[in-house]
Structure 1
Amino acid sequence: MSTVASIAIVCSALTAANAAAAERKPASGIADGTEAETPAAEPQAKAPVEAAFSTGVAKGRDRLDSATSTSALRGDDIQKLSARTLADILRNIPGIRTESSTGDGNSSYTIRGLPLASGGSKFMQIEEDGLPVLEFGDFFNVASDIFIRADFNLAAVEAIRGGSASTFASNSPGGVINLISKTGDVEGGAIQLTSGIGYDTKRVDFDYGTKISDTLRFHIGGFYRSGEGPRHVGYNAYQGGQVKFNITKQLGDDGYIRLSAKYLDDRSPQYLPGAVRITGTNDEPVYSNFANFDVRRDSVLSRYIPNVITLDGNNNPTSIPLSQGMDAKVASIGVETQFTVAGWSITEKARFSKISGGTTRDLVAAIYSATALPASLGAGTGTFSYATGPKAGQVIPNLSALNGNGLIAATSLNRVDATSLDNFTNDLRANRAFMLGKGELTLTGGVYKSIQNLGSDWLYGNILQDVTGDGRAALINYTNAAGVPQSQDGYLGFNRSGSTAFYRRKYDVQYDVTAPYGSVNYRFGKIAIGGSIRYDMGKVTGQIYGADLGDGRIGMKPFDFDGNGVISVAESKTAFTPLGRPAPVNYKYHYISYSTGINYRVAEQLAVFARYSSGARANADKVLFSNKVSVTDGSMPNSADGYDIVKQLEGGFKYRNSALTVNVTAFLANTEDTNVQAGAITTDRKYRAYGVEAEAGYRHGPFSVTGGVTYTKATLQSDQLNAAVAGMTPRRQPDFIFQATPQFEVRKFTIGANFVGSTGSFTQDANALRLPGYTLVNGFLQFRPVDRVQVMINANNLFDTLGMIEVTQPSVPGNGVGVGRASNGRTVSASLRLDF
């Protein structure tokens, strides 16, 4: 820990994500589509002019004049981070912890030590151009990041942590991440071709923006890609792309109207935990690879596991290609306008998105050593044979020698079929500044409206497979000692596991959110004092289906999948949805969020601030199928069960001159969290977290460095369902996370590296087995031989570090067989870009 912590502390003095880049470059497409002017040379005592920060605040303003903690990454700088996914990008923002090895979506995100109990982003809202991608970023297995992509359309990523995020967006008490699109105010475009070196990826990106007239401009861009991807799966796992377009009409000096559209049709794999060897002790464990399976670059996905065979949401037989992975289909249209009426600046944003897709994946339930199979799998007395692949039908004579590791995995093939995640969002606000006494009073008021659908079916089959890499794992059949087949074509059952219909579910629910809000800010001299308030009202209606609801609902029946007229043992274990026995959902919730802060501009270059906030997050689908919602009338007897409260105190300082930027914020948060962890563990908890985040940026001639470090001390205060975890550190919560990007840039080339990492943590809430800390190094080289042409080499995880992200075991297993997920191994790509 000491080495990594030392790196982190050095980074805090010299680094900080995004802020320096934001201050040395004009930012296009920020909020109102205007571009910051490049300031003339100023005396050292002056703070450089920067683009106004607009996300999660009442009105865009210089960050030295705002009592908030904010960061910004600009589009050109993002290209250098060697990021393969959105989660890779966001882990470069101080305070934000991402577990970014699941692939392009369903990554886990949290902020400043707020709970991270399951996938997605519960307390942090992910937005696109100021409106949320999904109203709830942690829907089971269909999180927001599946339905958004970073490409050449991206002008900037703005992030606000805590503070006014509680009152200027719904369901975002921890913060808001806003991906802001280019709008054509910077004329020209680019096309870039990218190919993997040593791994299979092919991608083309393009964008173009220009003025049609003095008052009319447009921007269009997108990407298309194809390939196996960074892990060996044995098939074309990535396929698809997106196109985005917007057109803007200027209305006088301070107004505009913008129409935008997006079409996304893309699929990518979800990488879940696989086999990892665990030896040593709980305090000093040793993580390593098994023979023929590298946890950094292999996956339980395979070309020889072709389909998920199950009943669909209407109980009809279906076969879903495993290659469908995380698929996203999004068609959206939006309008944004700003104009002035009687001195009031009016801003209106609205968007309708038609969203469908889902997640198809291979979820490991257990990995067994061949010598320790459970009784349900014959305990070594049965016969095993290959069910798929080039050895299909061949008996496996010696399980202990299988693939050189002697391992067999019992896994659930799972399809969460998101039939509808359609949503409509609208945000209307007005603000005006008045001169009052010797200061300026700014008033803001608005109304937010959101309608979010959740239509999904949870479909399962459970299988046996061997454990081997290179995308060659095959299904295995098992016949008991009496000669009776216990599986069919590798399937033990057409359900999740065992002989129950556990987790076979259907959701048909709509969330209707209305939230009026307002703020007041008074600035006089060097002091600015402000407060804001928001009142969220939610109405949840619809129906849910599943044997999990009890009350006599049956979810198992035999089904003849192969049509031979005989029900096999596996076919007798078929889960179906009890469509005739829905449970209603019909409840309301409401809560008030508020935030107040003070900012003191000590000097032109220095400001200090403090803020206290109370916000909340509605619990969405995590409270359905629980005792908090009645299965008879759909009501929620205790309306407080509909949301979790987050209370935060923060304070710090900000410094900016022409060469150096430093922002430091101390924070304290008390949080409620109702959730479901992996393994279907329901939690009802209270957390406490405190710490310090620091970001900085420094530039001297051609050299610059940006980055940050966050120290967090988090504690599980209580759990109503498991008192034993009280006082423990939440699982996978490190003391330090850090990032740094030094670079050297001249006219012909840019060279640099991006460091990201964390110190150690615990695998589970029992606080026994340790996860070691790690540092991932990403490298980049850009070469510009002639004007408008650039060649770039990017390396992600340059030194092929084994960075363990997640481990299922609470302690070192006696046989050394663990289930875990690591950061992807080294991937290198080359790009050729032409600007025009």
Structure 2
Amino acid sequence: MPAAAQTVAGPPTPAPVKPTYNDTVTTGVAKGRDRLDSATSTSTLRDVDIAKLAPRSTGELLRDLPGIRSEASTGEGYGNLTIRGLPIATSGVKFVQLQEDGLPVFEFGDLQGMGADSLIRADLNLSQVEVIRGGSASTFASNSPGGIINFVSKTGDVEGGAIALTAGLDYGLYRSDFDYGARLSDTLRFHIGGFYRQGEGPRRAGYDAQKGGQIKVNITKEFAGGYIRLYGKYLNDRTPFYDAAPMMVTGTNDDPKYSDIASFDANHDTMLSRNIRQNVVLDRNNTVAMRDIGDGHTVKSSAFGVETQFELAGWTITDRFRYATASGGMTTPFTSAYLPAALALGRLGGAGARASYANGPLAGQAITSPATLNGNGLIAILNILDLRVESQRNVTNDIRGSRTFELGGGNLTTTGGFYAGRQTVDIGAYWTTKVSEVRGDGRAALINVFDATGRPLTENGVYAYNLALAGGTRRRSTIVDYAVNAPFASVNYHVGRIAIGASVRYDYGTAKGFLLGSDLGGGRVGTITQDVNRDGVISAPETMVGVTPLTSPAPVDYSYNYLSYSTGVNFRIAEPIAVFARYSRGGRANGERILFSPIVSTTTGALNVPSAAADPVKQAEIGVKYRRSDLTLNLTGFWAKAQDSNVDSVTNQPVARMYRATGVEFEGGYRTGIFSLTAGGTYTSAKILADQFNPANVGKTPRRQAKFTFQTTPQIMTDRFAVGAAFIGTTGSYAQDNDALRVPGYVTTNAFVQVRPTEKLLLSLNANNLFDTLAIVSVDEAAIPATGIVRVRPLNGRTVSATARFDF
């Protein structure tokens, strides 16, 4: 299979030759077994597959898997992801667990400021990505009722390495990758690899918005009956976070027409700018702090782990342990407002308000015709979020024992284990409100606003040192430790053509800590007047300064528990074909998303709504699998019912709903001669069954849930040449849960060409979103507003890169 240059996931793997793979599933099951003998829905993306996709983020990589809805619009991390119609009521990765080498990255994948995908970088260290949808995922990992996505590292079992250099041809990227693995002796092997990159990134920011990399290393000692592996990882990376972009919409809600506004290309531009870098806030301790918006989404993480497997009295014991630190933050525009100039100036300064440039090449110059500013006549009120991640430390250990007994002519496999995890959430959210023009190419400048009398209402483009558009709210600090514990067990009986299995898991845990913020009520003050710049004069913005009420914390002190179970049967009709059925009940404990809401008492820290501690998910699936040397076909029907207790990260409104999703999922592959084709598709019908806060949504299709998504990759390859493309598409959906404004469907194309002039050298040319398709994954508005301007989150436009890789 061929490989292609990538912008983030690293350059391609070596020779484009047909590999031989052992078709065994190991993630989300008690013991690895042939896929045709397992009552599960699984997929695998191997390193050669990943290289074809040219992913610029984890979210883009996962778009090529059936059943997965990945909204990869925000950049390197903090994306939205779910499986098989389970809801994305707010943001993040809620019902799916992201793992590295069999352990969760975070206990909760939707932590604000740093989601689980923020800590994952696909590079030459990556061997494959294993995915299990539904089924046993509910009982073989905590907080994973929808599925498990496991990023598996190379471990030196294949000797050799590579050095690769990648450059963006039409965008700013320079990247180097390396990896090497070898045996030090017959029983000792190692692998080391990493990357470093720097550049503007796939959107025009006006400065190097990407800068950083990672290094990973592991060493494995083998012995009779098992092994022990030590591994470490260091990640220090800075990437941009892409806020919603402004677009014009005409037509009707049922048939909208989306188009770019003048001076701003939604596919390639962002409101990040070389002129909008400095941000001043009061930090958690109410001390003036200077931030660089150019730091964007910063992630620093160090991890150390031990994995071992050995035999004990006929049992196979496997233990995985990892300690990981995580810190950083996100300083960026978030859910900003884009308004016609007259409307924006009137909102900020009243009738007769005027404006001038605050910085940039026209600093001090009056804006005499705001209605024609930059040809679009828009002004942006930028909500600058300064989200500090002081610590999201995670410590996990998973120990399990498995043994197979001969019974009645078949094999009975039993497994039991215990999982323990500790997750720290120490974060703070602080805000500034700025005013700017709406312009792309990384050149937007800040704007000063004056009232009709000429009195300045801004200072150097700053309108307030808080979230002025929301009345100064949402300045918060969270310091909470979560404990997760879970004993689990399973049995699987395989006799002849039939395999019957069942598993159970009991999760229990606690949340203990405290909260700070005026949103907690009780007379807590969140806005004061302060001379922020210490010039002896109180300006208008200095009368709106966000402050943290340090002397009146609110406790968090509650516990939770829930039971998960799963049972399935698999019938191997013949050597190439099998059918299966499975029913499961899982759960997802809610993390910090439910804090600062009526769900948790601000006086006792207990749960006002005990049922919101964990959201149950019930699922059923039935499927057929077919496999021969040149053809693979999998077809699965699914049904799911889920509860979601949440708080919308954009509107700050609580969510308490029940959902149902049914559908059919297809995955297949075909190969003949030099031609091969892989394809997948998912049809989903989803409904809101109940909505506590907005009953009018009952019966509606959940927002952004398309009826049909698909992926297909045709390719032609020889020993010296390979060419192909991955087509990934979706039908339309609704912008919000009221089922009014439509979001159009799209198809993106990731194409690649490879030439191997010598055995050790591979040259690759890759185009991501080759045809520069406008691929909108979400729209913030529920209907077309009177202004005709909406906030959209599109996938990145076309980027072309070239890679030279030397293998040794």
Same fold (TM over 0.5): yes
Deviation at 1:660, TM superposition (A): 0.3
**How many angstroms does 1:681 deviate by?**
2.5
Deviation digits for residues 24-82 of structure 1, max 9, x if unmatched?
Answer: 7356xxxxxxxxxxxxxxxxxxxxxx242111111111110000000001012211112
Q: 1:537 to 1:795 in 2, by over 3 A?
A: same
The counterpart of 1:213, out of the listed 167, 170, 185, is 185
Partner of 1:461: 432
2:638 counterpart of 1:667: yes
Instruction: State the distance in 2 between where 1:87 and 1:808 align.
Output: 20
> Does the 8 A contact of 1:373 with 1:380 survive in 2?
no
1:384 aligns with 2:355: yes
Aligned to 2:147: 175
The alpha carbon displacement at 1:492 in A equals 1.0
| Aligned residue among 74, 94, 103 for 2:46 | 74
Which secondary structure state, in structure 2, belongs to the residue aligned with residue 377 of structure 1?
helix
Match of 2:202 among 209, 212, 230: 230
Identity between Structure 1 and Structure 2 (%):
52
Amino acid at match of 2:101: D
Q: Does 1:420 align with 2:374?
A: no
Q: Would the aligned equivalents of 2:779 and 2:792 in 1 still touch at CA under 8 Å?
A: yes
Confirm or deny: 8 A CA contact 1:119 1:143 kept in the other structure: no
- What is the SS of the residue equivalent to 1:784? strand
CA distance in 2, matches of 1:357, 1:118: 22
Please name the residue that 2:116 is paired with: 144
**Equivalent residues of 1:588, 1:639 under 8 A apart:** no
CA distance in 2, matches of 1:52, 1:215: 24
Alpha-carbon distance in 2 for matches of 1:273, 1:784: 41
User: Which residue of 481, 485, 507 corresponds with 2:456?
Assistant: 485
- 1:515 has 2:486 as partner: yes
Instruction: Describe the shift of the 1:342–1:415 C-alpha distance in structure 2 as closer, same or farther (beyond 3 A).
Output: same
Q: Does the 8 Å CA contact 2:345/2:354 hold for their aligned counterparts?
A: no
Q: What residue in structure 1 maps to residue 615 of structure 2?
A: 644
Change (3 A) 1:275 1:602: same
Residues 1:801 and 2:773 are matched in the alignment: yes
Q: Which moved more, 1:690-699 or 1:383-392?
A: 383-392
- AA aligned to 1:603 is A
Structure 1 residues 26 and 119 mapped into 2: Cα distance closer, same or farther (>3 Å)? farther
- Does residue 1:90 correspond to 2:62, yes or no? yes
1:600 aligns with 2:593: no
CA contact (8 A) 2:113 2:388 kept: no
Match status 1:135 vs 2:129: no
SS in 2 for 1:286: strand
Residues in 1 aligned to 2:54 and 2:594: alpha-carbon distance in whole angstroms: 38
For 1:776-795, what aligned pairs fall within 5 Å after superposition? Answer: 776-795=748-767
| Mapped partners of 2:491, 2:497: distance in 1 | 17
- 1:203 paired with 2:197, answer no
CA contact (8 A) 1:146 1:327 kept: no
CA distance in 2, matches of 1:694, 1:590: 35
8 Å CA contact retained: 2:517, 2:526: yes
Deviation for aligned residue 1:670 = 0.3
Letter aligned with residue 743 of structure 1:
Q
Matched, 1:578 2:549: yes
Mapped to 2, the partners of 1:613 and 1:346 lie a distance apart of 26
Partner residue of 2:32 out of 60, 68, 84:
60
Check 1:203–1:417 CA distance in 2 against 1; reply closer, same or farther (3 A cut): same
Structure 2 residue aligned with 1:8: none
Matched, 1:704 2:676: yes
Aligned partner letter, 2:667 = E
Residue deviations 1:554-607, cap 9 Å, x none? 111112122111211111101111111110111000000000000000001001
Q: Does 1:362 align with 2:333?
A: yes
How far apart are the structure 2 equivalents of 1:788 and 1:796? 25
Between stretches 671-680 and 685-694, larger displacement belongs to: 671-680
Cα distance in 2 for residues equivalent to 1:314 and 1:141: 19
Deviation at 1:268, TM superposition (A): 0.2
Q: TM-score, normalised by structure 2?
A: 0.97
Deviation at 1:369, TM superposition (A): 1.0
The 10-residue stretch of structure 1 (368-377 or 194-203) with the greater mean CA deviation from structure 2: 368-377
Relative to 1, partners in 2 of residues 1:311 and 1:26: Cα closer, same or farther, differing over 3 Å?
farther
| Higher mean C-alpha deviation, range 783-792 or range 556-565 | 556-565
Alignment of 1:282-431 (within 5 A): 282-373=253-344, 375-379=346-350, 381-431=352-402
Query: Number of matched residues?
Result: 792
The Cα of 1:679 is off from its aligned counterpart by 2.2
Q: Counterpart in 1 of 2:721?
A: 749
Equivalent residue for 1:18?
A: none
Q: 1: distance between equivalents of 2:400 and 2:335?
A: 48
Residue aligned with 2:541, SS: coil
Task: Give unmatched runs, 5+ long, in structure 1.
Answer: 1-20, 28-49
Is the Cα–Cα contact under 8 Å of residues 796 and 828 in structure 1 kept in the other structure? yes
- Please list the CA deviations of residues 123-162 of structure 1 after superposition, one character each: whole Å capped at 9, or x if unmatched: 0000000001111000123211111100000000000000
Contact 1:233 1:301 in 2 (8 A): yes
Contact 2:226 2:310 in 1 (8 A): yes
Contact 1:364–1:409 (Cα < 8 Å) also in 2: no
Alignment of 1:810-821 (within 5 A): 810-821=782-793
Of 225, 247, 252 in structure 2, the residue corresponding to residue 276 of structure 1 is: 247
Q: What whole-Å deviation, never above 9, does each CA across 1:391-416 have from its counterpart, x for those lacking one?
A: 11111111011111100011210111
**Residue of structure 2 equivalent to 1:775:** 747
The equivalent position to 2:735 in structure 1, one of 742, 763, 768, is 763
* 8 Å Cα contact 2:350-2:451 kept in structure 1: no
Q: Give the alignment of 1:665-744 within 5 angstroms.
A: 665-677=636-648, 678-744=650-716
Q: Secondary structure at the match of 2:61?
A: helix
Gap change, CA 1:499 and 1:791, over 3 Å in 2: closer
Checking the alignment, whether the CA contact within 8 Å between 2:307 and 2:319 is kept in structure 1 is yes
CA gap 1:289/1:449 in 2 versus in 1, 3 angstroms:
same
Check the 8 A contact 2:504/2:563 in 1, yes or no: yes
Q: Is the Cα contact below 8 Å between 1:743 and 1:751 reproduced in 2?
A: yes
Unaligned stretches of 5+ residues in structure 2: 1-14
> Aligned AA for 1:766?
N
Determine if the alignment matches structure 1 residue 621 to structure 2 residue 615. Answer: no
Distance 1:141 1:712 in 2: 30
Q: Is the 8 A contact 1:602 1:608 kept in 2?
A: yes
Change (3 A) 1:500 1:768: closer
Counterpart residue identity of residue 277, structure 2:
P
How far apart in 1 are the matches of 2:64 and 2:350? Answer: 48
Say whether the 8 Å CA contact 2:349–2:457 is kept in structure 1: no
Q: Would you say the 8 A contact 1:268–1:326 is kept in 2?
A: yes
Tell me how far 1:374 sits from its aligned partner: 6.2
CA distance in 1: counterparts of 2:627 and 2:747, whole angstroms: 28
SS in 2 for 1:80: helix
Quote the Cα distance in structure 1 between the aligned partners of 2:200 and 2:508: 45
Farther-moved stretch of structure 1 (341-350 vs 364-373)? 364-373
- The alignment partner of 2:48 has SS state of helix
Q: Answer whether contact 2:281 2:465 (CA < 8 A) is retained.
A: yes
Query: Once the 2 structures are TM-superposed, how far is the Cα of residue 743 of structure 1 from its aligned partner?
Result: 0.8
Deviation at 1:786?
0.5
Conserved 8 A contact 1:171-1:616: yes
1:571 is paired with a residue whose SS is helix
Measure the CA separation in 2 of the matches of 1:71 and 1:473: 44
Describe the superposition over 1:516-559 as per-residue Cα deviations: whole angstroms up to 9, x where unpaired: 00000111111000000000011110111110100111111112
TM-score by length of 1: 0.93
